[in-house]
Amino acid sequence: MRLSGNILLSLFSFLFCLASIEVALRIFNIAPSPTYRQPVDPTSPVLHFQPNRTRRFTKGHINVEKKVNNYGFFSETDYKVGINDYCVIGDSYVEAMQVRNQDTFHAIFSSNLDKKSVVAIGVSGSPLSQYLLYAEWALDQFACKYIIFIIVENDFDESMLSVKHAPGYRYFNDVKDIYGDEPEVLVDFKPSFATILLRESALVSFLYLNLEVSRLFKGVLQKFTENFLRRQYASDIPNSAQENNRLRKSREAIEIFLRRILEIKPRDTELLFVLDGDRSSIYKSKEQDFFYSGAFGYMKQKLAEKKLKFLELHTIFAEDFQKNKKHFNFSNDYHWDEYGHRLVGQALTDYFASDQKLQFGQAERRLRE
């Protein structure tokens, strides 16, 4: 009897502590609020958030409130069907949860070019295969004059269904023995009842989104795997079969993506590919990462072969860092900070201003064809 009483008291104390933490997180706006990702299926294939809401993002010293517009993307501007000047497509770098909407590179770009219409479409976790879906949809909805793709390191191999199959995204099908001959596979997303309940908890949001406990667990598991491989093969991981396979999958994804983009692109729509820089190597004054140089090098090669234009941020970041010694991302988050977004927004402004013969600056030296 006494033991059961102690157990109940301990349980009550534990629940009371959880409730107290929940209340404190809500009072002091420390926990991020839910994004409310909307269901994805063949009838509604475009991953987006619940429209016309406000969402708070917190992580360490980062505490930002952001508007979700009428189309379910983070922007202060509501989008309009019809001809739009620029469609910017990407993942979390376009979503830009870490900075205010008005401080994103695409908002800065829009403001610099006399507020021309800029439709920003991005959800974290989106790879090249999802960019293709977004481009198809954007061309139908917004008749984009220009499509600007923001390409980052994890966009490549994660486009392949054998590598990633998270719900809500479309992937290039390289497991045809399971999914048949369809070139792309959409993985449906519908939040479970438990997910709907748990995402309303400030404590769960804080643990999952702010402290990133799931990523910490994956990091520990990855470290264990790397150490195991080193012991097995007595070689560095960048030269392992695992890393080479990642590069092979990335090249496959690049080829499919560029081929399909050119198939769907109207003749009067221009494309620009903005390639992120290897910022870690810039800060440490060392050679580019094995995977970065391999994947981005291959993409630049294919873009040049197809006479497609791209803006190489590595050169821009390196020149700026040599001059100003300022990082382009947060100390606790590798995404671009306000300074990084400002630099990218200005680089885009310079390119398109030069392209349109406006006096905003010269950026053609930064453009590789």
Strand partners, 272: 148, 309
The CA-based angle 100-36-333, given to 5 degrees, is 45
* Cα dihedral across residues 312, 314, 316, 317: positive or negative: positive
Q: How many CB atoms lie within 10 A of CB 231?
A: 8
Contact 161, 185 (CB under 8 A): yes
What pLDDT, in 10s, does the model give residues 1-35?
A: 666 767 777 777 777 787 777 777 777 777 778 88
Q: Please say whether the dihedral angle defined by the alpha carbons of residues 92, 93, 98 and 101, taken in this order, is positive or negative.
A: negative
In the 8-state DSSP scheme, what is residue 37?
A: B
Closest among 97, 88, 117, 79 to 37, alpha carbons compared: 97
Check residue 361 and give its pLDDT.
Answer: 33
Q: Which residue stretches of the chain have pLDDT < 50?
A: 235-237, 357-369
Strand partners, 271: 147
The Cα–Cα gap between 276 and 291 comes to: 13
CATH architecture of residue range(s) 31-368: 3-Layer(aba) Sandwich (3.40)
- The pLDDT of residue 228 is 58
Say what the pLDDT of residue 178 is: 83
The count of residues in the chain is 369
Q: Give the span between the Cα atoms of 120 and 104, in whole angstroms.
A: 10
What was the pLDDT predicted at 262? Answer: 97
Residue 280 CA, distance from chain mean position? 18
pLDDT tens for residues 309-354? 999 999 999 999 999 999 999 999 999 999 999 999 999 999 988 7
Residue ranges per domain, the chain? 31-368
For residues 26 and 61, the answer to whether their CB atoms sit within 8 Å is no
Query: What's the pLDDT score for residue 363?
Result: 36
Q: What pLDDT does residue 302 have?
A: 98
Q: Tell me, what's the pLDDT at 10?
A: 76
